[in-house]
Every structure is written in structure tokens, then in C-alpha cells.
Amino acid sequence: MNYSHIHFIGIHGVGQMSLAILLAQMGKVITGSDVISAPSSPTGKIPERLSIKVSYDDHFPVTDLPIDTDLVVYTIHGGKNNPQVKEAERKGIEVITQAKLLSEVTKLFQNSIAVAGVNGKTTTTAILAQTLENLGTNPSYIVGTNNLGEKLPANFGNFENFVFEADEYAIDPPINLKSKLSLMYPTHAIITNVSHDHPDIYPNYSDIENIFADFISKFVDKPQNLVVCGDDQNLMKIVDRFPDLKNQVITYGFEDSNAFQILERKENQTGSMMALKYNGKSKIELSLPFWGEKNMLNAASVVAMLTSLGYDLGAISQAMKNISIPARRMQIVFENEYFTLIDDYAHHPDAIVNLIKTMKSIFKGRRLVLIFEPHTFSRTLSLRSEFVHALIASDLSIILPIFASRENEADFPTVQSEMDNAILVQKSAHLRKCTNENLMLFLKNNLQKNDVIVTAGAGKIYQHHQNIIELLKSLS
């Protein structure tokens, strides 16, 4: 990679930041730009740790583009219309998308191990990266989060193993609606699941199904390098399209047809324990510092991948004991004698179902209060019935206003009424809508001692945490 100075526009996004960290550790000069509010974001303190110079201005002035830049990497902040992108093109500086840069980075490594799937990518990537680290391999990786415990979410170790998230979203909407997966040609991959998401780009399930089919087709000549969840019917139907893959890919799950089958499992408030059987013979015991069936599946996928890479089952088991789950994944942010506050990134109906199921299993006998911030108008509108059906499983679900992200509410004039209708159809007293401004008053009037409160969403719901914590203290 012959670039010496790389400038990231919107550097505080987790994808941009992780790439910036990796390339800084590889010796590149890294600079960035972002909006004024970015330093208060979850990645806000990272540039200072690495001495990365970042300029902050909502208008992205061209004067903040360093003179000696030889590559500009952009994502959502105005895309091709961002003033710094336009200035770079005017000066003849190469400009590429984040997805294109990631695809180029993967080519530098002997083993590039992608983690794909609609849900579970970040957690699985984090488990795989840290387990490889604990095995003493000094891997390189990027994880789409703001931290891994005390560690940065990216690392350059060596050129042997590179672990990364392979996102299914579009490369550069609305200019290029092809999936980012189309740019990726990893040597190995884990696919966790397939379901309908990103309806702003993929209106129908068949659209996202075809994206994953294209990605899976890249492993026809190396099926032993592909690990898939055998319990996921949508995913296995896609695998079945390829006769040369069907019986050769490595499967994992709870069902006995899987090469790696999860057997006995136990959970408590400190984590999980499970047994994993390999090809009906070898058995491995895993002690995991996290909860939930989905995370057990994520861990099983990592064992399957590492076994395919030649690592010993016993060594893998030991290496998995000391890992950190990414921030905002069933993360306890406050706890006292009377209340527990947990935060999670869940923003898809399937993830909400898993979150509620896990919380009810771990905190048996306690009332579950879920505060959910829907993410994007398009997703909320398209999957409104699925969301509402998932949310009624909580003892009380509070639905906050939709976090717009890259979208404009004016483009979705019926979203509020359609969501209201979906709630009315359920006729459930468990569902309540609330504004951000009135949330604290609503909680003050409705919380009960011994409640487990869970905030969920991919937007900025975490900004309520400090006020919620102060309220919980006052109610204790």
C-alpha cells in the first residue's frame, strides 16, 4: 500500500476509526475530520491516544484537508459532495470509499478472515480476534466498536492473520448501491445468519439473499474455509444453491447435524458455560464471559474457524477464557441493590428477540423494562410488525422516537402512523411510546425496585444513561 498520508472524513465512525487505528499502527500518517459533536461520541478519545490530528467543523472546510494528503477516505458525511472530497478530486488526490480501502487492506495478509451476517458480526469478530491474540499469534484486526475492554478496537500485529467485519450494507449510497460484500475476497469467512435488513437499499428479502449468495459463491473452490451457522435456515438455503459447497462447508449450532454441536449449557450473572462436540467425537468445554444463545453460537463459530486453521481445541478453550465483549453488547452500565441497567446495540427484530430472551433467562423473577430507540425510518417502517411483536415479550417496552441516522423523516411521511397502527394491533399494555424529553419523568413514575432496565438501539440512546443512573440512585 503506497500511501503515506491518509485522511479520513467522518473519522469518528467506528468503521473509519478502526481502519485509521490499523493504518496508523502500520506507520501511515493519519489525519481526519468530523462534525463538532464527534469528540463526545464513543470513539471521541481515541485520536488523542494515537496522536491523530482531527479537525472538527460541521461544514468540513477545504482548509482542513492537509496539503500532503495522498489518499482521502470517505463515508456518509456528504459522500462525494463533501467539500473535502471535492477539493481532493480537484487537486488530483485519490479518493476512495471506506469499503474499497478495507478490501485493499485485506490483500496485504496471508489469511484474511471475514465475519459476515446480518447480526452478530461485531461480537464474533471480537471473540475471534482476542482468541487469536490469547493464542499468542499477534493477529491484526478491526472490530466495529469503540473498545475491547481497555484495548483499542483495532490492532496491527503481523501479516499472517487479519480478522475483520464484512458489512452487507451498500458501498456508497445513493451513488453505488452494490453491497460492500461484493468488494471482499477473503481467504476465510464466518457467516452468522441471514435475514432481511437495510430496506432502504434492499427492499425485499430476496435482494439481501442474493448478496450473500454472491459472497458464498467465492468459496466454491475452498469450502473448508467457510464456516456457517447450520441452524440458520435462511443461510443454509443459500448454501444449498451450491452443490459443491453443501456438504463441505463447516457448520456449527445446536442441532446434531452440525460439525460443531453445542451440547450442555449453563448461564449465570457472570457468564456462560457450554460443551461443544466436534464431528460427534472430540469434546471441548468453554467458559465464556458473556450471556445468551446467540453469543454461544458466535463462540462456536470461532472454535470452528480456529480448528480449520489448525489450532488445538484445548488451547482454544484456554484462550477464550479472558476476552472482552465489545461495548454496548449486553453491557452492565450500572448496578446497585435495587436496580440493574444494561445497554445493548440491538436494532433489528431478531436481535431484540434474543436480547429479551437472554435477559429473562439471566434475571429470572425480575421485571424487565426495555427502552428501545428504533434506528432509521426505513427499517422501522419495513419491519414495524416484527419490531412490535418482538417488543411485547418484555414486561414493559418504551419506544423512543426514531433515530434518523442518514435519513430524512420527510421521505417517510407514514412511518409514525404505521408504527402506531402496528402497536394498536397488538393491544398490549406492555408497549408505551415516549419522547426523549419525557423519558425521565415516565421512568420516575413507572419504575419499580428490583427492575432490570435495558436500553437498546444503534443510535444515541446511550446518551440517556447518566440521567437514568441518577434517577435509579434517587429511587434506591
More confident residue, 129 or 284: 129
93/73 Cα distance (integer angstroms)? 11
Contact 464, 403 (CB under 8 A): no
Residue 46 confidence (pLDDT)? 92
Percent of the chain with pLDDT over 90: 77
Average pLDDT over residues 8-27: 95
Whether 394 has a pLDDT exceeding 80, the answer reads: yes
Whether 368 has a pLDDT exceeding 80, the answer reads: yes
Instruction: Pick the closest to residue 172 from 104, 266, 73 (CA basis).
Output: 73
174/200 Cα distance (integer angstroms)? 10
Whether 78 has a pLDDT exceeding 80, the answer reads: no
257/372 Cα distance (integer angstroms)? 36
Q: Which residues pair with 397 in a beta bridge?
A: 370, 431
Angle ∠(282,216,307) on CA atoms, nearest 5: 20
Find all residues with CB under 8 Å of 456, minimum gap 6, and list them: 343, 344, 345, 346, 347, 352, 355, 370, 371, 372, 373
Average pLDDT over residues 263-278: 86
Residue 374 confidence (pLDDT)? 94
Residue 118 confidence (pLDDT)? 94
Find all residues with CB under 8 Å of 221, minimum gap 6, and list them: none
The backbone torsions φ and ψ at residue 196, rounded to the nearest 5 degrees and listed phi first, read: -75, 130
3-state SS class at 194: coil
Task: Kindly indicate the confidence band of residue 311, based on its pLDDT and cuts at 50, 70 and 90.
Answer: very high
Whether 326 has a pLDDT exceeding 90, the answer reads: no
More confident residue, 188 or 413: 188
Task: Kindly indicate the confidence band of residue 211, based on its pLDDT and cuts at 50, 70 and 90.
Answer: very high
Query: What mean pLDDT, rounded, does the chain reach?
Result: 93
Average pLDDT over residues 143-157: 88
Residue 472 confidence (pLDDT)? 96
Residue 282 confidence (pLDDT)? 78
Contact 112, 162 (CB under 8 A): yes
Task: Kindly indicate the confidence band of residue 204, based on its pLDDT and cuts at 50, 70 and 90.
Answer: very high
Tens digits of per-residue pLDDT, 426-472?
Answer: 777 789 999 999 999 999 999 999 999 999 999 999 999 999 999 99
Contact 106, 112 (CB under 8 A): yes
Residue 269 confidence (pLDDT)? 78
Find all residues with CB under 8 Å of 466, minimum gap 6, and list them: none
226/223 Cα distance (integer angstroms)? 5
Contact 57, 33 (CB under 8 A): yes
Task: Kindly indicate the confidence band of residue 399, based on its pLDDT and cuts at 50, 70 and 90.
Answer: very high
125/109 Cα distance (integer angstroms)? 16
333/258 Cα distance (integer angstroms)? 36
**In 10-70, at which residue ranges do the beta strands (DSSP E only) sit?**
29-34, 53-56
Residue 85 confidence (pLDDT)? 96
Residue 111 confidence (pLDDT)? 97
3-state percent breakdown (helix, strand, coil) of the chain, nearest 5: 35, 25, 40
Task: Kindly indicate the confidence band of residue 474, based on its pLDDT and cuts at 50, 70 and 90.
Answer: very high
230/253 Cα distance (integer angstroms)? 6
Tens digits of per-residue pLDDT, 19-34?
Answer: 999 999 999 999 999 9
Chain centroid to Cα 457, Å, comes to 11
Average pLDDT over residues 288-315: 93
Whether 42 has a pLDDT exceeding 90, the answer reads: no
Residue 289 confidence (pLDDT)? 85
CA torsion sign for 393, 396, 400, 405 is: negative
414/192 Cα distance (integer angstroms)? 33
Contact 274, 263 (CB under 8 A): yes
More confident residue, 324 or 464: 464
Residue 163 confidence (pLDDT)? 98
Length of the chain (residues): 476
Task: Kindly indicate the confidence band of residue 3, based on its pLDDT and cuts at 50, 70 and 90.
Answer: very high
Instruction: Pick the closest to residue 262 from 210, 300, 221 (CA basis).
Output: 300
Task: Kindly indicate the confidence band of residue 112, based on its pLDDT and cuts at 50, 70 and 90.
Answer: very high
Average pLDDT over residues 70-97: 92
Q: Distance of CA 172 to CAs 68, 97, 166, 216, 445, Å?
A: 25, 7, 15, 22, 45
3-state SS class at 230: coil
Angle ∠(204,207,208) on CA atoms, nearest 5: 105
DSSP string, 380-406: HHHTHHHHHHHHTTSSEEEEPPPB-TT
Contact 1, 67 (CB under 8 A): no
Tens digits of per-residue pLDDT, 158-201?
Answer: 999 999 999 999 999 888 999 999 999 999 999 999 999 999 99
Task: Kindly indicate the confidence band of residue 327, based on its pLDDT and cuts at 50, 70 and 90.
Answer: confident
